[in-house]
Amino acid sequence: MTRTLRVAMIGHGFMGAAHSVGWRQAPRVFDLPGEPEMAVIVGRNASSVREAAHKWGWAEAATDWRAVVARDDIDIVDIVTPGDSHAAIAIAALDAGKHVLCEKPLANTVDEAEAMADAAVRAAKRGVRSMVGFTYRRVPAVMFLRELIAEGVVGDVQQVRAAYRQDWLVDRSVPLAWRLQKEHAGSGALGDIGAHIVDMTQFVTGSRVESVSGALDTIVRERPLNVSGSEPTGTAGSNFGAVTVDDIAIFTGRLSNRALVSFEASRFATGRKNALTIEVSGDKGALAFDMEDLNSLNFYDRAAPEDRRGFTKILVTDGTHPYIKAWWPAGHLLGYEHGFSHQVVDLVTAIVKGADPQPSFAEGLSVQRVLAAVERSNQNESAWVHVAAAVETSA
């Protein structure tokens, strides 16, 4: 018999919608070893969380996450709240014997991330699993990119260029929100979207970021308060609040294989809506991925005849490509939301089989350490900072 796994999702909003699609869609498309049941969604506002439950298909709405985590009928806790509550919810859930999926970045600080990783280790000894939601790993083209690098298609990795560029904050009238306040978000573009490109670089290359040199900047330092909703704290005036996180992060990294990486995370890249790109160059070839063209990879083969060299587009929609077989015939494209279904597939499969899902909280911690090192470098006039050293001094 298929095992039922009752899910509680803590938080809603944009990520709540995306995760809800994943929980609803995955068991209808994939043959899962367990049946996730969308049991309860939790939010602070009773009215809005009831609306979310109805809209996205959750059986029940609640306002007290502690009470929900303590319930005997909940198997999985999915955390999509702002970063300042990740540690408290995740640790409580793991200690209560619940499997946990936590959105990225894992936490707001290295200390919090370390506590979460420690809790995950304790829980794993009791068969309780945990995973951090770096969802872009589940894009079939990204998974295929990783497989090709592991096969040696590009040879020895010599250089990586990774960027995540958006422009939703270029408009100075965009109101202050929790993502723009350090006490809630931890950091700005660095943690919100920079975490993705750090994780993706480490994931596809198999190498760790060991040291960084970087700079952060806050381009718009005050934003209007959203008087129609709950007002953020820390106002700089009667109608404006202070932005206390970075708008842009540009940094260089040195990988454990000695290759250099250029990283850019920006919410002020005018004209770029969700442009996550990565290009990996080696001595035999190169691979390039663009999230705004997420069903394809570009491949350059140095072994090709000289008169036929150039980047070739690979359409990653064949049944032999990662995750694709369960979906549509070749050439029928997938979208942003499909990664969240793949995330559910991998988590449920690992739980039922008694395996540790990836990426683990330890991997989330490794990204948090890189983010901390970038902040330390920025504070020291972009000096090179070893990732381990940044952790030691942040404790």
DSSP string, 135-204: GGGGSHHHHHHHHHHHHTTT-SEEEEEEEEE--TT-STTSPP-GGG-HHHHSSSHHHHTHHHHHHHHHHH
Cα–Cα dist 317/322, whole Å: 9
pLDDT score, position 388:
82
pLDDT of residue 207: 98
Arithmetic mean of pLDDT over the chain: 95
Check residue 226 and give its pLDDT. 78
Q: Is the pLDDT reported for residue 393 higher than 90?
A: no
Quick check: 235 pLDDT over 50? no
| Predicted pLDDT of residue 391 | 52
**Class of the CATH domain delimited by 140-293+295-334:** alpha beta
Report which residue type is found at 21. V
Mean pLDDT of 162-188: 96
- The confidence band for 392, taking pLDDT boundaries of 50, 70 and 90, is very low
CA angle, 114 as apex, 217 and 339 as ends, to 5°? 70
Structure confidence by residue, pLDDT tens digits, 106-128: 999 999 999 999 999 999 999 99
Question: What percentage of the chain reaches a pLDDT higher than 90?
Answer: 94
pLDDT of residue 236: 46
Q: Which tens digit of pLDDT belongs to each residue from 329-371?
A: 999 999 999 999 999 999 999 999 999 999 999 999 999 999 9
Domain 3-136 -> CATH class: alpha beta
Domain coordinates in residue numbering, the chain: 3-136, 140-293+295-334
* Per-residue tokens: 70: 């303590």
